């Protein structure tokens, strides 16, 4: 009887402990939802206020005009073109390097000294403030390599900035693929690279795209490293076109051109006391958000189509 009573008491204690844990879990879930809704509400309010302030300036002339000392004549043509060129350069540098490094570390690296050295550097890069990347680029890309204050320097700087994100996301995406898929590929006679290219990468590429989206979204809004390497705050011309009417029809002169980007143009206008320039900065902010959402939406569409193709 005493043993039975002790057992009953233990059951009651366990039920009481379980009830407390369920209550704490529910309270934490409610707190998380409240924080999420509060943050979302603040973000929506800020975007709405910025849109209302900048709406009068959102027109075709604003998008196709160069900066000017007259706020009613000023536009963002040089800024959004410069942002697109810098992001394209960043993407073509960071994505191949980041994905290749992630594949090496996860599939080939093992525990050798080179893999350990890369992992240490990736960890260090992930914790470095963005302004340090600007100082590094100023000393190495700008002065040592002689690239100057160019689109190429900016693209390489931002590529270093987002490289840890792409590498870590690639490794996690590859790690999520079950080992049975690799074993099945080996059983059919595939080599290691054939297994990675034909089987592992197609199933993990959707998750890899997520890391690329996050990295590029961060890069498009960076200001500090680009100011450090000498990005212009006032520019009234465009870089040379990548496509030329003469042979060989493709030109890379735009990589050497001076540039400005949307965040720097916004910073320049916000620092002025004239309310008209403040409205210009708000309008530029709306355009920058639209560019970011468009970039993310296109990448998400590619990810969806890719995953749908894999399923079929």
Q: Residue 239 gets which letter from DSSP?
A: P
Fold for the domain defined by 58-311: MetI-like fold (1.10.3720)
Q: Please tell me what DSSP assigns to residue 111.
A: T
Cα distance between residue 197 and residue 90, in whole Å: 24
| Of 264, 269, 276, the residue nearest 53 (C-alpha) | 276
- The pLDDT of residue 121 is 80
> Which residue positions in the chain have pLDDT lower than 50?
1-4, 312
Indicate the domain borders of the chain: 2-56, 58-311
Instruction: Say which residues have a Cβ less than 8 Å from residue 27's Cβ, sequence separation at least 6.
Output: none
Check: CB of residue 85 under 8 Å from CB of residue 151.
yes
> Within 10 Å of residue 53's Cβ, how many Cβ atoms?
18
Strand partners, 250: 243
pLDDT digits (tens, 9 = 90+) for 258-307: 888 888 888 888 888 888 888 898 999 899 888 888 877 877 787 777 76
For the chain, give the number of residues.
312
pTM of the model: 0.82
Chain-centroid distance, C-alpha 93: 13
- Buried b or exposed e, range 248-278, using 16+ CB within 10 angstroms: eeeeeebbebbbbbbbbbbebbeeeeeeebb
pLDDT tens digits for 191-201? 888 888 888 88
Instruction: Measure the CA–CA gap between 42 and 284, rounded to whole angstroms.
Output: 20
C-alpha angle with apex 307: 306 to 312, nearest 5 degrees? 100
pLDDT attached to residue 45: 92
pLDDT at 90: 92
Measured distance CA(195)–CA(137) in Å, rounded: 38
Q: What is the pLDDT of residue 35?
A: 92
User: What's the pLDDT at 6?
Assistant: 53
Q: What pLDDT shows up at residue 2?
A: 45
β-bridge partners, 243? 250
The reported pLDDT for the residue numbered 267 is 86
Q: Are 236 and 224 in contact (CB under 8 A)?
A: no
Q: CB–CB of 80/287 below 8 Å?
A: yes
What backbone torsions phi and psi does residue 191 show, to the nearest 5 degrees? -80, 175
């Amino acid at each position: 009887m005493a043993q039975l009573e002790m057992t009953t008491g233990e059951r009651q204690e366990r039920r009481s402990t379980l009830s407390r844990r369920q209550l704490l879990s529910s309270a934490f879930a409610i707190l998380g939802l409240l924080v999420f809704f509060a943050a979302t509400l603040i973000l929506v309010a800020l975007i709405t206020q910025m849109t209302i302030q900048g709406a009068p300036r959102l027109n075709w002339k604003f998008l196709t005009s160069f900066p000017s000392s007259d706020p009613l004549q000023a536009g963002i043509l040089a800024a959004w073109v410069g942002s697109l060129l810098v992001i394209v350069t960043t993407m073509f540098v960071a994505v191949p390097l980041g994905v290749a490094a992630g594949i090496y570390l996860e599939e080939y690296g093992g525990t050798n000294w080179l893999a350990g050295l890369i992992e240490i550097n990736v960890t260090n890069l992930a914790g470095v403030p963005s302004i340090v990347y600007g100082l590094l680029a100023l000393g190495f890309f700008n002065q040592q390599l002689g690239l100057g204050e160019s689109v190429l320097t900016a693209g390489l700087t931002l590529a270093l900035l987002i490289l840890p994100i792409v590498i870590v996301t690639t490794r996690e995406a590859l790690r999520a693929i079950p080992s049975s898929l690799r074993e099945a590929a080996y059983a059919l006679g595939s080599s290691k690279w054939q297994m990675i290219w034909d089987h592992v990468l197609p199933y993990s590429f959707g998750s890899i795209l997520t890391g690329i989206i996050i990295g590029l979204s961060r890069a498009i809004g960076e200001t500090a490293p680009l100011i450090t390497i000498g990005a212009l705050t006032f520019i009234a011309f465009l870089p040379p076109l990548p496509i030329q009417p003469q042979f060989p029809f493709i030109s890379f002169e735009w990589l050497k051109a001076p540039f400005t980007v949307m965040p720097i143009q916004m910073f320049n206008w916000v620092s002025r006391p004239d309310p008209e320039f403040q409205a210009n900065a708000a309008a530029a902010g709306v355009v920058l958000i639209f560019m970011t959402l468009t970039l993310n939406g296109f990448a998400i569409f590619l990810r969806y189509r890719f995953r749908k193709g894999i399923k079929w």
